[in-house]
Every structure is written in C-alpha cells, then in structure tokens.
Amino acid sequence: MYENLLKTVTNLGSPKVLVVGDFMLDVYVYGDAVRISPEAPVPVLKVAKTEYRCGGAGSVADNLAALGATAYCLGVIGDDPNGVILKDKLTKAGVDITGLFEAANRPTVSKQRLIGLAQHLHRQQLIRIDEESAEPLSGELRQRILRAYEQKLCEVDVVCLQDHNKGLLSDSLCRRMIELAAKANKKVLVDPSPTSDYSKYLGATAITPNRNESSAAVGFEITDAQTAARAADDLLHRLKLQAVVITLDKEGAYLKTQDAGKIIPTRARSVYDVTGAGDMVLATLATSLAAGCDYETAVQLSNIAGGIEVEKFGAATVTAEEIADEIARRNGGSNSKVRAVDSLVHELERRRRQKKTIVFTNGCFDVLHRGHVEYLGFCRQHGDIVVVGLNSDSSVKTIKGPERPINNQLDRSIVLAALEMVDYISIFDEPDPLNLIKKVKPDVLVKGEDWAEKGVVGREFVESYGGEVALARLVEGRSSTATIDKMKSLEAKP
C-alpha cells in the first residue's frame, strides 16, 4: 500500500478542475489580549497583524493549486475591497479567476476571526464576524453562470460543487449543472451544504459530507461504523451516486461504493484547527480521481491531506510533497530512511522537483565514531538531502576481510537512520558504489580527503553533468579499524 500511495501522490499531474460554489475571504486579525476592557467584561485586543486567506470554494481552488492541479473558479463575489483581496490571493496561487462574477448588490462573503495571542504565543479565537448575503441570485446572473459553466465544462476533467448555501447553488442550478456534467461524462464531486434535504445533488458522482452533515441528511446520528454504513448506503442509493465519503474526524472516513463499503482509517492527530479540512478533502479527492485513482486510494490520500491540514491554524493548503513526506514517515517508523534503490530513485525525483540539492556519500560505517559524525555533518553542509550508500555485509567482507563487519547491515542502517543529518540510506552489494551513484545522480559527491590520490569512484560521472566532488577533512586517529583494534588490545590485556 505504501509504494502505491507514494507513487500515486508523486504522479498526480496537473488535472483541470472546475470549482463552483461560494467563494469567501477568511480574515484573521491577530492581537495581544493583555487586559479586560473597563467598558465591558471583554478582552481588549491590541492588533498585531491581519492575515487574509481564501475560504469556502476559494479554499478548495487554493488547495487544488497547491496539489499541482489547474483550478478554474466559477462563482459570485461582491464589487468591494474584500473581493479585490480574494481575487489577488487566488491569482497569486495560480488559480483561473475569469469565472468570478461581481455583483454590486451583494458583498463578498467574508469571515473575520479575532485571534487573541495569550503571552504573545497561544492563539485563541475570540469571536467570528460574518459578512454575507444568502439571497438567491438574479435570473440574469444565474444565466451568465450557467453559460460560463457550459463553456468551461468541456475543458476540465472533474467538477467540484462546494455548497455553503449562500445563494449560488440553488436547487434548479445545481440539478442542471449535474445533468450537463453527466452528458459530458464528467465527474461531479459535492461538498454539501448543512441541510437535511440533499435532493438537489441527485445524480452527482460522489458526495463528501462530514459526520454531522450526514446525520442531518439521513435523520439519525452517526456514532460508529454501523451507523456510518447505514447512512452511506442510504445516500448512495437515494441520490444515485457512485460513491459516498463520510468524513469521521479521528476515525478517518467511511467509503461506500456500489461494490463495497468500509472505514478508511487515519492516523491520530493533534488537532489544532478543523477550519478548511473539508475543503482539503474535496480538493485531494478531485485531484486523485482526475489522475485516475480508484476511490479507496483517493480517500486514503484525502485522509492524509486532511490530517495534515488540521494540524495547521486556519484554512491552510497542503502540498503533494507534504503528503508524500507523511507517507514516507509512516512507512516503517525510523526505518523509513532505508530505501531500496528503485524507491530511493523515485523519492529523489520528487525532491529534485522541490529544487533540493542531493548529496551522496558511501561507506561501511561499521563502528560509528566521532569521525563519521563530523564527516556526515560535512555532507549536510553541501546540500539539502544526504544519501548514504551503505556497503552490505558481503561487500564489507570483500573489502575488510572475513572478520568484518562487526555490526550487520540492518544494525548499521538503523544507527545511521537515527542521525539527523542523514536523509536516506540504500544498501549496495558491489565493492564500489559506481552503479548506485549512476542511479542516484547526485549534485554533490563527497568522499574523505584520503581518496584524493586514490581516485574518487564516480568522479568522472558526476562531473560529466556538472556535478561537484567535495573532499572532507578526516578526524585524525578516528576510524572503525582503529576503534576495533583498541578494543582488541584492551581485551588482550590480563
């Protein structure tokens, strides 16, 4: 499963996603709450900074862009300063905003949160101030949106309907959009509004309500896997969907399709703020499904993305790189640094896309000592990612003799993995690392200065594409052989 998830998230590509819904501006006003007002028993907030983020459907579009997708917006904002700020934020994120229509008679939906900073550190939301209009759109504006929808539908891979019940996705418009998408053979994913009537979502592809929203829609409380299964089955058949994804907080998500139903678990998290978690789930599902994923894989990735998001404050984006890092950390705990060659090469391709400098070195690292630590520290100084090629037990015997290594390759790799300056370890069998170097293709190749005259294996290859070879100064008198000889001499003394 690990390899499949990692391969999927690093090959999502740039699917085109149309986001239709209620675009909002989230405003965070941070300040020090240091005293109580003499006018009323409320804290006085001394403003330190104001931060703007994309909210609602804007948050979905922002998340899609962070995942590498191409997001197209379709919705209504006000002809006001908040609308200008929202458009600027979306444009800077790389989102297409040509489908955002300005309405002079309604404000841009905004949610302003006043955040007190206790002792300048701990954030505590004091109050939220909403500015909005939930009035239905005019007939003319509805027609403009529908025409824009029809024009854009043929260009995109999937449609997201993000419904906050702010007047855009009326019953008739929502049904028409789903009908047109079905005719165009496009998937429609719905994040529903908090209502008990889901009939306007009839015929969509999938729906992603949370526990409370699902409970309201089916008329009973979802408390466990059994009630989640009942609710998902009800929604699937009543709305004629392909899939239902009910998000269940720390329990993960319940996935129901025509063929099966199951809980997709997630890792327990230290939840900091649930704002925007549903937007992140919808964006990840859309990107994954558009890239050709099956529903189970898409939900697994959405769980991970949503879990990362709730550990951040406010509506925050999550990148594909963050998801991949999380997947790697989950695989084998401390052994996640130890990679087979194919897995390592795949991981380094992802790191290069992040513009990271790859440093490679190799050795037996049999009995770890100060010299090793300073040597690996030298490697870290020359780049962002340090890869260690570790000689296998058979390779060490070939080089050092039949009594070596003292520690087997598993023990040696685990000790190396515990060092902060080492990012990845790959074990190789050959006497020299040339084949591994050719696969890693490092930006910097590091060896000890004692190799200057002997000739650094891989130098010609690395320098052939503009790579660098760096020689590290050795700590005098520190080596595994010297350490082992000293131990032997002590053992020999009476």
Q: DSSP string spanning 465-493?
A: TT-EEEEEPPPTT--HHHHHHHHHHHHH-
Q: Which CATH number fits domain 333-492: 3.40.50.150, 2.40.440.10, 3.40.50.620, 3.40.50.720?
A: 3.40.50.620
Give the CA count within 13 Å in the CB-facing half-sphere of 109. Answer: 22
For the whole model, what pTM was predicted? 0.69
Tokens of 412: 């040696």
Is the pLDDT score of 4 beyond 50? yes
Q: CB-based contacts of 450: which residues, under 8 Å, 6+ apart?
A: 474
Q: Distance from CA of residue 473 to its chain's centroid?
A: 39
C-alpha–C-alpha distance, residues 48 and 360, integer Å: 45
Amino acid letter at 379?
C
Q: Are 448 and 400 in contact (CB under 8 A)?
A: no
Q: Which pLDDT belongs to residue 175? A: 96
Give the CA count within 13 Å in the CB-facing half-sphere of 309. Answer: 31
> What tens digit of pLDDT does each residue of 44-76 get?
888 888 999 999 999 999 999 988 899 999 999
Tokens of 375: 């040597």
> What tens digit of pLDDT does each residue of 389-424 get?
999 888 888 888 887 888 888 788 888 988 989 999
Give the pLDDT band of residue 223 (cuts 50, 70, 90): very high
Is the pLDDT score of 119 beyond 60? no
Residue 22 burial (C-beta neighbours within 10 Å; 0-12, 13-18, 19+): buried
Taking residues 73-102, what's their average pLDDT? Answer: 95
CATH class of 2-24+53-106+134-330: alpha beta
Is the pLDDT score of 273 beyond 70? no
Instruction: Report CA Rg, the chain.
Output: 28
Domains 2-24+53-106+134-330 and 333-492 share a fold: no
393 annotated active-site: no
For 408, list phi and psi in degrees, rounded to 5: -70, 170
Higher per-residue confidence, 110 vs 134: 110
b/e map 185-203, b = 16+ CB within 10 Å? ebbbbbbbbeeeebebbee
Going from N- to C-terminal start, the domains of the chain cover 2-24+53-106+134-330, 333-492
C-alpha–C-alpha distance, residues 332 and 171, integer Å: 48
Is the pLDDT score of 488 beyond 70? no
Answer whether the bond into residue 405 is a cis peptide, omega within 30°: yes
Is the pLDDT score of 334 beyond 50? no
> What tens digit of pLDDT does each residue of 169-198 get?
999 999 999 999 999 999 999 999 988 999
Sheet of 444-448, strand order: 424-428, 385-391, 358-363, 444-448, 468-472
Q: Which pLDDT belongs to residue 446? A: 94
Q: Which pLDDT belongs to residue 482? A: 62
- Least trusted range by pLDDT, from 271-275, 286-290, 291-295, 319-323: 271-275
C-alpha–C-alpha distance, residues 312 and 191, integer Å: 21
Give the pLDDT band of residue 285 (cuts 50, 70, 90): very high
Is the pLDDT score of 270 beyond 60? no
> Which among 290, 224, 335 has a CA at the least distance from the CA of 67?
290
> What tens digit of pLDDT does each residue of 440-459 get?
999 999 998 888 878 899 99
Tokens of 39: 């006018």
Amino acid letter at 68?
G
Taking residues 366-386, what's their average pLDDT? Answer: 90
User: CA dihedral defined by 432, 438, 442, 444, rounded to 10 degrees?
Assistant: 50
Strand pairing category for 385-391 and 358-363: parallel
254 beta partners: 246, 263
Q: Which pLDDT belongs to residue 145? A: 96
Q: CB-based contacts of 240: which residues, under 8 Å, 6+ apart?
A: 202, 203
Give the pLDDT band of residue 333 (cuts 50, 70, 90): very low
Is the pLDDT score of 317 beyond 90? no
Tokens of 102: 């300005």
Q: Which pLDDT belongs to residue 271? A: 47
- Catalytic residue from among 96, 279, 423, 443: 279
The percentage of residues in the chain with a pLDDT greater than 70, rounded to a whole number, is 90
